[in-house]
Amino acid sequence: MRRGPWLWACAVLAYLFLYVPLIIVVVYSFNDSRLNAEWVGFTWHWYEILLNDENMLRAATNSLLIALVASSVATALGTMAGIAMHRYRPKLLPFMVITPVAMPEILLGVSLLLFFIQVLNLTLGMISVILAHITFCIGFVAIVVRARLAGMDESIFEAARDLGATPWETFKYVTFPLILPAVIAGFLMSFTLSLDDFVITFFTAGVGVSTLPLQIYSMIKIAVTPEVNAVSTVLMLLTLTMIVLAARFAPETLKSHT
Amino acid sequence: MPFSTITALLRTRLTRWAVSGPPFLFLLLFFLAPSLIMVLASFRYPGEFGGLAPLRDADPVVLQGLTLETYQFFFSDIIYAEIFLKSFVVALATTLICLVMAYPLALLIARSPKKHRDLMVLLVILPFASNFLVRVYAWMIILGPQSAFARLFNDVLGLFGIGPVALLFSPVAVLIGMVYVHLPFMILPLYTNLEKHDPVLLDAAQDLGANAWQRFWRVTFPLSLPGVFAGSALVFIPVLGMFAIPDILGGTRDMLIGNLIKEQFLGVRDWPFGATLSIMLTIAVLAWAGFSTWLAKKWSHGYA
């Protein structure tokens, strides 16, 4: 195939553009200087500060708790939505599943803020953030599960029915084991998205609760220190692990971004 | 009808509701209802202490509780139209830059041996693994006044006698941040499209005497239009509503629609006007989606 030198040069530049900024963040997290300007010497100092930063640790705990609860519920609801969309071809459900993901995030953020305060009269905090995260995670799980079902032979389910299996038995012994990789991948994706979300959390968290992205945001808005680089590096490692896990369980998730 | 048929029918119905009911109800409550409330809120008066005024107010002037005031306000001041226009320009520029940067890489991956492709795609996705704010923060470091890059840049400008310029907190920084965060969204759909092209077509074009330039513009590019449009939508729409990147990398004058909406909800707390702006953004997104679908149909008509 034709891959001329120009194509190579442009492609290498694009990869450099993607990676150099992140490498700089990681490298400066080990830099013995308050300024992210030039390399002075190696240190673990910023990681020590990070480990002793109570606000940061509380935010990390909140983030993990929110991600765990939100992605569990979203996985259950999203799997149901994926199966329903595949089996019954409903009209409204795909719209409600896809739109929150396809619109600019800020719209879901402010409409939920309005809804929580004005209609539910809910104090913003952990609960409102979890509910908001479930709303946008359902779509990702549903899409992965439906993609998995679409690639399967319908006759398996018919065979189960012909052999006298009830719908529940068909689900338990046939459908669920078959879609399990997609369900796990959906869970890991939701977990990562929830852990990473800034915009929607920003509007639905109020003053009640802080998460890692909110903490990072206030740090870069107020005073930038390499502690931000350190927490960024830790977060990168965490999400990297989730992506590698997702890729192992269901390689098709890598393509579901599109 | 025999009893067994009725129970079977009932069971199918019940199964259907058991499966689609929970996600449907959840999204009805936490997506559809809030969206409708937003529409309603845009026709309301602001409350005395922020939020919305109570619907049944003792004051006879606002007895009805519904008004077109916020919409009149939106159209009365040219500044809001300007901010919308600026957001469109930024979104369009980001989309075009992403397209130009993404195309060679997507093409290279699509034309690489099959065994290398997955790894090359993974390398595009991995930067996603870092938090969105981290990716924006990286550019704060690179463009910051003390950074090696900014100093080198200003030294070069100095050679031409142009005074030092601040890279950070400028429209250029906003644009770089926008491109950086959204580039993978352009690469992936382009690659998915280009990968499906049959190389025989290019051989045929070459046999017919087309040079490399003609082969690209008259075969590869027209065939890749669906990918171009898919990627453009994935970049344009989120950029149009983005508030965090201008907030972090931009100066005070680089406000976009997203910043305006955020300001209404969290800053000045004029929620009805914030809701009006959100409705306007929704309309802009839908109009854009409709326009690009129409354009995609029209352009790919002769080729597909």
Domain check: are B260 and B117 in the same one?
A: yes
Q: CA B228: distance to chain centroid?
A: 15
Longest pairwise C-alpha distance within chain A? 72
Domain check: are B20 and B133 in the same one?
A: no
Instruction: State whether residue A207 sits within 8 Å of chain B by CB.
Output: no
Domain check: are B83 and B138 in the same one?
A: yes
Residues near B135 by beta carbon (within 8 Å), at least 6 away in sequence: A21, A22, B127, B180, B181
Burial class (CB in 10 A: 0-12, 13-18, 19+), B160: exposed
Domain check: are B134 and B8 in the same one?
A: no
Domain check: are B92 and B208 in the same one?
A: yes
Q: Which amino acid belongs to residue B232?
A: S
Domain check: are B121 and B228 in the same one?
A: yes
Task: Write out pLDDT tens, residues A211-239.
Answer: 989 988 988 888 778 888 888 888 888 87
Higher-confidence residue of B95 and A179: namely B95
- Tokens 């077109």 belong to residue: B68
Q: Among A145-154, A177-186, A243-252, which stretch is predicted with the lowest mean pLDDT?
A: A243-252
Residue B59 lies in a domain: no
Q: Looking at chain A, which residue has its C-alpha nearest residue B248? A: A221
pLDDT score of B63 more than 50: no
Cα separation, B92 vs B240, whole angstroms: 9
- pLDDT for B89 equals 93
For residue A213, what are its two tokens? 């992205």
Domain check: are B149 and B88 in the same one?
A: yes
Domain check: are B110 and B220 in the same one?
A: yes
Residue B49 lies in a domain: no
Residue B12 lies in a domain: yes
Domain check: are B112 and B211 in the same one?
A: yes
- pLDDT for A44 equals 84
Q: What distance in Å separates residue B237's CA from the closest CA in chain A? A: 6
Residue B31 belongs to what domain range? 1-36
Cα separation, B183 vs A204, whole angstroms: 28
Residue B66 lies in a domain: no
Count the alpha carbons within 13 Å of A167 in the hemisphere toward its beta carbon.
Answer: 14
Burial class (CB in 10 A: 0-12, 13-18, 19+), A112: buried
- Identify the CATH number of the domain in which residue B102 sits: 1.10.3720.10
Domain check: are B107 and B13 in the same one?
A: no
Domain check: are B86 and B178 in the same one?
A: yes
Residue B67 lies in a domain: no
Instruction: State whether residue A243 sits within 8 Å of chain B by CB.
Output: yes
pLDDT score of B281 more than 70: yes
SS3 B50: strand
> A7, A18, A175: which to substitute to probe chain B, counting the most B Cβ within 10 Å?
A18
Residue B58 lies in a domain: no
pLDDT score of A258 more than 50: no
pLDDT score of A251 more than 80: no
A254 pLDDT band, cuts 50/70/90, is: low
- Residue window 67-96, chain B: list those with CB within 8 Å of chain A: none
Q: Please report, rounded to a whole number, the percentage of residues in chain A having pLDDT higher than 70.
A: 95
Domain check: are B88 and B218 in the same one?
A: yes
Into how many domains does chain B fold? Answer: 2
The average pLDDT across A29-41 equals: 77
Residue B109 lies in a domain: yes
Residues of A in contact with B238 (CB under 8 A): 104-105
Q: Among A209-223, B26-40, B47-61, B160-174, which stretch is predicted with the lowest mean pLDDT?
A: B47-61
Burial B108-120 (b: 16+ CB within 10 A, else e): bbbbbeeeeeeeb
B94 pLDDT band, cuts 50/70/90, is: very high
pLDDT score of B58 more than 50: no
Task: Write out pLDDT tens, residues B100-150.
Answer: 999 989 988 888 888 888 888 888 888 877 788 888 998 988 888 777 777
Cα separation, A20 vs A199, whole angstroms: 25
Cα separation, B253 vs B246, whole angstroms: 9
Task: Write out pLDDT tens, residues A64-108.
Answer: 999 999 999 999 999 999 888 888 888 888 888 888 888 888 999
Q: How far is CA B299 from CA A142, B215, B293, B294, B296, in A?
A: 32, 18, 10, 9, 5
